[in-house]
Structure formats: structure tokens, C-alpha cells
Amino acid sequence: YNKKVTSMNFLSFSSPIIAIIQSILKAKRQGREVWFYFLWMTLVLPRIIFGPSRVVVSSFPLVSSRRHHSPSSSFVRWFTSESTSGSRTGLTMKSEDDVVAKMVSCSKLEECGARIREGHLVAFPTETVYGLGCHALDTEAVARVFCAKERPTTDPLIVHLNSPEQALPLWSVSEEEKECLQILMEAFWPGPLTLVAHANDTVVPPLLTADTGFVACRSPSHSLARSLIEAAGVPIAAPSANKFGHVSPTQAQHVFDDLHQEDVWIIQYKPENSCQVGVESTVVKIQWDPNTQQGSVLLLRHGAISAHQLQKSLLSITTKWQVSIRPKHTSEQTPNVAPGQNIRHYSPHCDCFMISSQKYALEEQEQSMLSQVVVIDFAGQLDYMRDSCLAYRDLSLKGNSQEASASLFETLRWSETIPNATRVYIPEIDINKN
């Protein structure tokens, strides 16, 4: 249903069905994605017909080649929620200028926990980035996250818990896999390591896992995140709190910039640089082969913990497990067992280019182009562009990768605030050297 609604006074039995069917047919004719319509046809219509609900119409693009957008994008979405009176309230209109999100202080943790339990959304800081949290075992709450982020359902969510004891019931694993999970949890939890294993499908919703049969879990080390999990009393599913494909947020204001039109509470935390790691968690998948009696720890997404650290922790106890690096890049139509594997991800609004580490004299055309370029440098490799570019920052003058990663996402967000910027340049980095 991708026409901008100007007014609608009532909701008949047939109107949402007709509207969605028309949208599916139109999208199919245009060769566009239709997964979103099928998802909401199954989730929304039964509640409209059989249960008290209201349909909220708000502005965001359902289908686009760029997955993060400005608030002026004029499309609509269907969504259901319980009305405060418990009766059918029909359609509610949200204009493009409406601010629905709410900033809350750390003193509201108990209220935030109750909000999570009731199936609503709360954005909170972790040691990596801000997460958009919901009740992980509530399918409708999980659906709200996908809707708010405009996230394809092929991209699963990570469940956040406070202990291994809370995580183990969500997995259905062999004794060998359980042993490996316990070794890694003891070594790296709480912390920025996400573990993927076979899901216990009696408790884990398929929507949470992209219907792959695997569920991702981690235990954050951030004190506020742990306090929120305790206050909620339920596992919290939390992808990064931004529009899908955009740069992950490391400050409350970043979350508000992306999600101010969504029904989400955003916990403000001081200092603003509370996400000390600054980049996403490392994601690994645990896989045991009963035929060879050997196990694999597949690194699916690079993050704060390296493959070397993982292998070292395992070899100190057992030789049955080997770490292998298997990151992949897929289209949004391909279901993944872990997030962060789409071709386009963590991208700012400006196009980004990697510049060769070999310095060279700039030609006249290149020199003039720099007047519209933001340079994000590392160890001064692009310092020769400093005087000619529109804006310049060095993530780490000393070439410290940990220091650089802690401010990477925040700096990419900063690049979007520079007037007249059309490009971002970053240097090629020798990973063997740094």
C-alpha cells in the first residue's frame, strides 16, 4: 500500500484486503519485493478482523534501492497495536513531522523493563552500539522491530541475556556443541561475542531467526544493558537501533535521528561515548560433525574479538574445534543465520571510496573534487588531502586499530552532517601491518 494517505474516516472489512492485494500486484508488475506485504497480510489482517486493534499509517519507504532514508520519504505502513480502551479505533494518521519517539533517563529502567515485557520497543546502549530492544520470545514484538527498522525478515536478530544459564535453553545442541559454547561463554561473556547455534524451536519464534533454525545470542558487558535485561525479566532481541543499512548508532541522538517517527523509548546515557567498543560484536556459528568427530567455529562477522583470540581460548582446553573465517555477502532476499552479512550495510548517506595507500600527485580534476569530499583518515595516510578537502578527521594518528574502531561509526555519522559533502574517502589499510 504505497500511496500517501491524506484522509480516511473508517475501516471496512474489505478495504485493507483490497489495498494490500492491489499493492502486491503492482509491486510484482514493477519487479519489486513483495515479502513485506505477505508478512503484514499474515500478521495484521487476522488482528484487524478477529481482535481489538488499531492500524497506524506512518511515513516510510517500503521498497527502495537505498535502505536508509530521510524523514521526508512519503510512503505508508500498516501496523497493529492494542488501543488503550481495548476497542477498535480505526485508522490513525501520522504526518511526516510527527515525533513519536521519547527520550528517557536512566532512572526509568523499571518502566523500560515493563515496556519490553509488554511487547514495545526500547533503545539502549551496549558496549558495541545502541540496540533496539524488544521481548525476544514475543513474535509481535519482534515484528515491531523489523517494521521500525525497515529491515528484511531474512536478516535475523541477536538475543541479549545476562548469563549462559539464560542462553542455553534457547539452543538445541549436542553435548559437544554445548561444551564449545560453554568454553567461549566463559572466555568472552559478558562481552562483544555473539554465538550462533541450533535454536530450540519450542520457544524461539521463527521470525527472530529468519526461519533458518539457528538463533544468535550474546551477553553484553555494558552495565545499563545488563540492568535493563534484569528489569525486563525476559530475553531482549536487539539489532542496532537505526534504519536498516544505515550506520549503526553509538549515541542516543543517532537513534533519535533515525527512529524519531517510531514508537520507541530511547535511554539517554552519559557520557555520550558510552559504547566503548564502537563497532558490532563478532559473530560465530558453532557446528559439530559427528562423522569426523571434529567441530568448526565459523566466523561469520568480524567484530571486536579476533579469530586468533577465539582459537587461543579453544586450544587451551581442547583440540576438537577449529576456527575458520567464513564471512559472506548476500542479497536481502537470502535468509542468513546471523546479521551483518548483506552486501550493503553500515553505510552513510554519502558514497564511500577506499583510496590507495600509495601517495600520488593529485590531478586538477581530482583536486577540485576534494572540495566536496570528507576524508576519514587512519594514521595520517591521507594527510596530503587535508588542506584541499571539505572536512578531515583521523581515527587514530598512532595507527591504533582499537582506538579507530571505537570512533568509526560516530565519525561516519559526523560525515553526514557536513554541508555540501558528496563523498567520503577512507584509506586502504594493510591489515597485516595494523
Tens digits of per-residue pLDDT, 211-251?
999 999 999 999 999 999 999 999 999 999 999 989 999 99
Residues 190 and 164 sit within 8 Å (Cβ to Cβ): no
Considering the chain, what percentage of its residues have pLDDT values greater than 70?
74
- pLDDT of 9 reads 32
Residue by residue, DSSP assigns 111-126 as HHHHHHHTT-EEEEE-
Strand ranges for 245-335 from DSSP E: 264-267, 282-289, 294-301, 321-325
Tell me the whole-structure pTM to 2 decimals. Answer: 0.76
Band of pLDDT at residue 22, cut at 50, 70 and 90: low
* Chain centroid to CA 411: 18
Domains recognised in the chain with CATH numbers: 98-342 (3.90.870.10), 351-427 (no CATH)
- pLDDT of 63 reads 29
* Chain centroid to CA 318: 34
- pLDDT of 389 reads 95
H helices of 73-151, where?
A: 109-117, 139-149
Nearest by Cα to 390 from 357, 361, 407, 368:
368
* Average pLDDT, integer, range 163-177: 97
If one compares 42 and 146, the residue with the highest pLDDT of the two is: 146
pLDDT in tens, 40-98: 455 544 444 444 333 333 332 322 233 333 332 222 233 333 333 333 233 344 555 67
Strand ranges for 279-367 from DSSP E: 282-289, 294-301, 321-325, 351-355
Region for 340 from its dihedrals, namely left if φ exceeds 0, alpha if ψ lies in -120 to 50, beta otherwise? left
- pLDDT of 168 reads 97
Lowest mean per-residue pLDDT among 31-45, 156-170, 242-256, 403-417: 31-45
Instruction: Classify residue 363 by its DSSP letter.
Output: P
Band of pLDDT at residue 318, cut at 50, 70 and 90: confident
Residues 164 and 188 sit within 8 Å (Cβ to Cβ): no
Three-class SS state of 208: helix
pLDDT in tens, 335-391: 888 787 666 677 888 899 988 877 666 778 888 899 999 999 999 999 999 999 999
H helices of 30-66, where?
A: 35-50
Q: Which helix (H) or strand (E) holds 91?
A: strand 90-93
Strand ranges for 177-250 from DSSP E: 193-198, 214-218, 236-237
Three-class SS state of 40: helix
